[in-house]
């Protein structure tokens, strides 16, 4: 037991990080039932793009209810506040209404450290796990001041889209641990007990893992994407620009997008239009989308 397990009401200080399209009720409940905290990500349990914020929020409501049928343990829900920094999130308010009505307990809030947003969520009674997309000491301090319960420190080793600050997990974790008094969880490239031990040695009080769960039996990722991730190693890694200063860590198939003559920005906006990670990771069309993984 430590501060993280106390705050989240779980047995082990391990969070399954939210991942768009591939963190369904089944995966979330499996992690929570095993003593960690599963987290529903955007498009959880879906296989089509929602028709606007209201439909997206109602789908989230259904997935929350489904998760509750599969586990009586605590789980989290990913939430991007409206002022996320890289643009307004038109889905935020509709989602928040559902989260309040469904009495969600813990929000995994990801974005910029906007004190007003975090304060408002605290006043609404949520437990806040806050992950600054591009981690900074000032952002961690601001989130703590605003009432965040736990900070997630993200290293450039992260799967999915990286921070735009090219600093690894080994550096970011102690930097954030030294900046705040609330517990810090480490994320980015952690996949086994050695990584967990290293995170704790750096002062973290828990770990937040994404990619490690993608190829699990309970994950809804397409088998093509799972096998592709298992098959590829460090020497295959491709970095594709995200459009916000970071990179998508991708398997070599994703290079097909650039080979179609699209520049970085076009790859990014094209990819956003087709439902972000859905094409490769959920539908298994590896040449048409981005299959993302870190380097372990
Ligand atoms: C396929 C994939 C999709 C992701 N989608 C989201 C998302 O929708 N929301 C979010 O806050 N983070 C997202 N992330 C980031 C993860 O929540 C987490 O920060 C990251 O996976 C941690 O690094 P690791 O994969 O090395 O464990 C995604 C990561 C991956 C690999």
Report the pLDDT value the prediction gives residue 274, as an integer from 0 to 100: 46
209 Cα nearest atom in ligand 1: 27
pLDDT for residue 293: 64
Ranges under pLDDT 50 in the chain:
85-86, 274-275, 295-296
Does 210 sit in the ligand 1 pocket, CB within 6 Å? yes
pLDDT at 269: 61
Name the residue of 18, 60, 216, 225 to mutate for ligand 1: max ligand atoms within 8 A of Cβ.
18
Can you list the domains of the chain with their CATH numbers? 3-213 (3.20.20.70), 223-282 (no CATH)
pLDDT score for 250: 81
pLDDT of residue 161: 86
Is 117 near ligand 1, meaning CB less than 6 Å away?
Answer: no
Give pLDDT, residue 109.
96
Q: Whose CA is nearest to atom 4 of ligand 1?
A: 19
Instruction: Note whether 10 and 37 are within 8 A (CB).
Output: yes
Q: Is 41's C-beta closer than 6 angstroms to any atom of ligand 1?
A: yes
Q: What angle do CA 49, 155, 194 make, to 5 degrees?
A: 105
pLDDT of residue 272: 54
Q: What is the pLDDT of residue 262?
A: 62
Taking the CA of residue 20 as reference, the ligand 1 atom at the shortest distance is 8
Q: Are 288 and 280 in contact (CB under 8 A)?
A: yes
How many angstroms separate the alpha carbon of residue 160 from the centre of ligand 1? 5
Q: Answer yes or no: is the C-beta of 229 below 6 A from any ligand 1 atom.
A: no
């Amino acid at each position: 037991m430590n501060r993280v397990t106390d705050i989240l009401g779980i047995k082990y200080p391990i969070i399954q990080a939210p991942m768009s399209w591939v963190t369904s009720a089944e995966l979330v409940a499996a992690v929570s039932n095993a003593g960690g905290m599963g987290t529903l990500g955007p498009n959880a349990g879906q296989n089509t793009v929602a028709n606007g914020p209201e439909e997206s929020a109602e789908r989230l409501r259904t997935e929350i209810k489904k998760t509750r049928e599969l586990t009586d343990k605590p789980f989290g829900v990913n939430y991007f506040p409206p002022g996320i920094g890289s643009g307004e999130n038109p889905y935020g308010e509709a989602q928040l209404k559902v989260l309040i009505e469904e009495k969600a307990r813990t929000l995994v809030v990801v974005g910029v450290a906007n004190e007003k947003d975090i304060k408002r969520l605290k006043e609404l009674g949520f437990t806040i796990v806050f992950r600054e997309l591009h981690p900074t000491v000032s952002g961690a301090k601001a989130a703590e001041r605003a009432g965040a319960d736990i900070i997630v420190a993200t290293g450039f080793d992260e799967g999915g889209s990286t921070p735009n600050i090219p600093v690894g997990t080994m550096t970011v974790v102690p930097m954030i641990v030294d900046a705040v008094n609330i517990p810090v969880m480490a994320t980015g490239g952690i996949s086994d007990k050695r990584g967990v031990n290293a995170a704790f040695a750096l002062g973290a009080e828990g770990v937040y893992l994404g990619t490690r769960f993608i190829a699990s039996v309970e994950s809804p990722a397409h088998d093509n994407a799972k096998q592709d991730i298992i098959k590829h190693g460090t020497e295959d890694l491709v970095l594709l620009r995200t459009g916000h200063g970071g990179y998508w860590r991708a398997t070599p198939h994703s290079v097909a997008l650039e080979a179609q003559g699209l520049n970085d920005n076009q790859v990014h906006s094209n990819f956003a239009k087709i439902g972000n990670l859905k094409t490769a990771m959920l539908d298994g069309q590896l040449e048409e989308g981005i299959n993302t993984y870190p380097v372990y």
